[in-house]
Amino acid sequence: GQSLEQPSEVTAVEGAIVQINCTYQTSGFYGLSWYQQHDGGAPTFLSYNALDGLEETGRFSSFLSRSDSYGYLLLQELQMKDSASYFCAVTRAAGNKLTFGGGTRVLVKP
């Protein structure tokens, strides 16, 4: 079987930093992706990690530790527009489909 665990909800204030953790148990691992989804909207791709370490894209960074089966998404300088659900997703083999976690709802308060 396979599972991805992430917190269900996180609340923070504007300007703060939020870290969303994702732990996975899968038979095979190729890479970890992160997607953002606003209410009623389509998921949009944020980042991808195949190797250990940190990937930075503007205010968002993503980290992967393959040995710990763990990754996180870091949201810095939070803005109101960052209120959304964030999903981690695993690719188990090259060319394989994504398996998604249950999502973390981030609520940004003024």
Report the distance separating Cα 29 and Cα 8, nearest Å: 23
Beta strands in the chain (DSSP E): 3-5, 9-13, 18-25, 31-37, 44-49, 53-57, 60-65, 70-75, 84-91, 98-100, 104-109
Residues 78-97 that bind another protein (CB under 8 A): 87, 89, 94-97
Residue for token pair 């930075």: 56
Report the distance separating Cα 90 and Cα 68, nearest Å: 14
Single residue of 15, 28, 53, 102 touching another protein by CB under 8 A = 102
- x/- map, 28-47, another protein, by CB under 8 A: ---x-x-------xxxxx--
- Smallest gap from Cβ 62 to another protein, in A, equals 12
- Smallest gap from Cβ 45 to another protein, in A, equals 4
99 binds another protein (CB under 8 A): yes
- Smallest gap from Cβ 78 to another protein, in A, equals 22
71 binds another protein (CB under 8 A): no
